[in-house]
Amino acid sequence: MFKRGEEEEGEEKEGRRYIFWRKRQGLENNLTEQFMGKIRKKVRTAAYLRHNYSYWLENIEDGTILLFYKNQGGSPWINRYVEAENWLREKEEARLNIDNIERPNTKWVFRGYSDVDVKVVLDRQPLLGTGPLPDWLRNFARGRAGPMVALDTYQDNLCLWRCTAVHRGARPDRSTTAARELAKGFFKLRAAPNDSPKTSVDELDRVERHLNQGAAFSDWLGIRVYEPLRVGGEVVWHLRRNPPAKLTNILTIGIYEGHAFAIKDISKPPVQDSLKLATFNGIPKGAPKGRR
């Protein structure tokens, strides 16, 4: 659905998981309050924000005018309006600082803003169930880390438990039995299931408590969660959940569209797109390393 408001209000666009606003008028002013009015009216869940703007530059020698685009990046996950307001105000103040205007060289001078965009990506607590990874994510992993183990043929909801089984040392291609036993214990079933209910990210505290029963503190498991999103042609990895720093036995997983996959190696922060993944039913093999 696309809605175009009055010219002074710019544009608004809504999708299943995002709301986008573009302002074209009054750009010489700080727009924090205007954007926050829209956010308070429309946003009722945790979210993260993207702030971008474009501006005109003129070449003082030949009069050429060009439009330049500035991506100010994304926020951390935000749970309160005051957090969103503080983050937006910081970005707006940076935009209005003329020293931050990037230009090819000193022959180009700033001639004004074209538009300012704010995109809100809404939090929908994912369920960690089944479904193969999309091609763009599988191709992304293959390009960064070489061949992947891709066995996207399972029709069950055991992907979280397969991640856990592999983290505990099970072979990726022989992890189903161990995954079923883990699900059996967590859901208090009489027999190991061929399938299991999906598990929400909100329930990972319960999963950790169950898995850590009777274990020495040094062996307690913590589950870290990242979510990849494609924004403007780039892959951005957002930290959705981080276990306490005192834990050292960390299972790092990614979530995408109800699908969980283990991250076996993080050589640099995921926001730099340097994750190594190897998936089977979306569950990469090997225990995570680094970022512990």
- Amino acid identity for residue 280 in this structure: F
| Mean of the per-residue pLDDT values of the chain | 78
Residue 70 has pLDDT above 80, yes or no: yes
- Give the per-residue pLDDT at 127: 53
Residue with tokens 């093999």: 285
Closest to 28 measured CA to CA, from 88, 95, 87, 91: 95
- Amino acid identity for residue 124 in this structure: R
Report helix, strand or coil for 93: helix
pLDDT for 81-107, tens place per residue?
A: 888 999 999 999 999 999 989 999 999
Helices (H), 233-289: none
pLDDT for 202-241, tens place per residue?
A: 788 899 999 999 999 999 999 988 887 776 666 677 778 8
- Give the per-residue pLDDT at 286: 38
Which of 53-67, 83-97, 132-146, 185-199 bottoms out in mean pLDDT, i.e. has the lowest?
Answer: 132-146
- Give the per-residue pLDDT at 134: 64
For 252, the token pair is: 């790092």
Q: Which domains does the chain have, with CATH numbers?
A: 2-122 (3.30.1490), 127-276 (3.90.70)
Residue scoring higher pLDDT (35 or 267): 35
Average pLDDT over residues 76-80: 81
pLDDT for 186-203, tens place per residue?
A: 988 888 887 777 777 778
